[in-house]
C-alpha cells in the first residue's frame, strides 16, 4: 500500500470518529432520557424530612419556654410551694434538653464549636447546680433554694457568654410570667 492510498482511509476513519463522538454527545444531550424510578417510600421520607426541617422552632423559641418555666420555678419556691417548684424544675430541664436537641453545637465568637450538651451535663449532672436546686426543693429549704437558683442563673450566663451572647443576662424575676397559676400552696380554689 502506498502512502497516498492510506491517507484517504485515515481521513475517513478520523471523520468517522469525529461524527461518532458528535452523535454520542448529541444523543446524551437531546435524546430520550430514562429516569430512574424513585421509590415512593424514599420520596415520602425525603418530603417528611424537608417538612420537619421547615417547622422545627428556633432555639430562641425554645429558650423562651425555658425562661417561662424557670421564672415560674422562682415564684413557686418563693411561696414555698414545693410540689409546684418541683414541677417547674422538671419542666425547665426538659425545655433545656429540647433547646439543645434543636441546636446542640453553637459557634463561639472566635468560630470554635461550643458543645451545649457538655455544658448542660456539667450543670445537671451529679453535683451540678441543678442537682443542688433539686435538693433544696426536696428539703423544702427556701434559703438553699434562693442560693441555688441564683447560682443556676450564673451558670446559664456562662453558657450565653460561651455561645457569643453575653447580652442575654438572666436575672431573678420580679413578676411572674403569667397570672393563671396560683403559687400559694394553701390555695383552696378551684376545688
- Give the position of cell 500500500: 1
| Cα 125 from chain centroid (whole Å) | 20
Crossing angle of the two packed helices 129-139 and 116-124, in degrees rounded to 10: 30
Q: What mean pLDDT do residues 172-191 have?
A: 95
CA dihedral 186, 78, 84, 60 (to 10 degrees): 150
Within a domain: residue 8?
Answer: no
Cell of 80: 414555698
**pLDDT digits over 75-110, tens only?**
999 999 999 999 999 999 999 999 999 989 998 889
DSSP letter string, 16-41:
HHHHHHHHHHHHHHHS--PPPPPPHH
Q: What percent of the chain has pLDDT over 90?
A: 73
Residue 150 lies in a domain: yes
68 found inside a domain? yes
pLDDT in tens, 108-152: 889 999 999 999 999 999 999 999 999 999 999 999 999 999 999
Q: What is residue 175's DSSP assignment?
A: S
Total domain count for the chain? 1
Residue 121 inside a domain? The answer is: yes
Q: What are the tens digits of pLDDT across the range 122-133?
A: 999 999 999 999
In a domain, 80, yes or no: yes
Q: At what angle do helices 82-102 and 116-124 cross, to 10 degrees?
A: 160
Distance from C-alpha of 134 to C-alpha of 91, rounded to nearest angstrom: 12
Residue 87: domain span:
56-162
Asked whether residue 90 is domain-assigned, the answer is: yes
CATH number at 91 reads: 1.20.120.290
82 assigned to some structural domain: yes
19 part of a folded domain: no
Instruction: Tell me the three cell numbers of residue 68.
Output: 417561662
Q: How many CB atoms lie within 10 A of CB 185?
A: 13
Q: What is the CA radius of gyration of the chain?
A: 33
CB 162 within 8 A of CB 184: no
Amino acid at each position: 500500500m502506498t502512502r497516498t492510498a492510506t491517507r484517504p482511509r485515515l481521513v475517513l476513519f478520523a471523520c468517522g470518529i469525529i461524527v461518532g463522538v458528535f452523535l454520542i454527545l448529541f444523543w446524551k444531550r437531546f435524546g430520550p432520557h430514562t429516569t430512574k424510578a424513585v421509590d415512593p417510600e424514599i420520596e415520602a421520607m425525603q418530603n417528611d424530612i424537608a417538612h420537619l426541617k421547615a417547622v422545627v422552632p428556633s432555639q430562641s423559641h425554645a429558650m423562651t419556654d425555658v425562661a417561662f418555666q424557670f421564672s415560674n420555678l422562682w415564684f413557686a419556691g418563693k411561696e414555698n410551694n414545693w410540689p409546684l417548684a418541683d414541677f417547674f424544675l422538671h419542666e425547665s430541664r426538659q425545655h433545656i434538653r429540647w433547646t439543645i436537641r434543636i441546636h446542640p453545637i453553637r459557634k463561639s465568637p472566635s468560630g470554635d464549636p461550643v458543645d451545649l450538651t457538655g455544658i448542660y451535663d456539667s450543670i445537671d449532672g451529679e453535683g451540678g447546680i441543678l442537682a443542688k436546686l433539686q435538693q433544696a426543693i426536696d428539703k423544702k429549704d427556701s434559703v438553699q433554694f434562693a442560693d441555688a437558683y441564683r447560682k443556676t442563673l450564673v451558670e446559664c450566663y456562662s453558657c450565653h457568654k460561651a455561645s457569643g451572647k453575653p447580652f442575654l443576662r438572666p436575672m431573678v424575676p420580679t413578676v411572674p410570667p403569667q397570672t393563671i397559676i396560683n403559687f400559694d400552696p394553701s390555695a383552696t380554689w378551684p376545688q
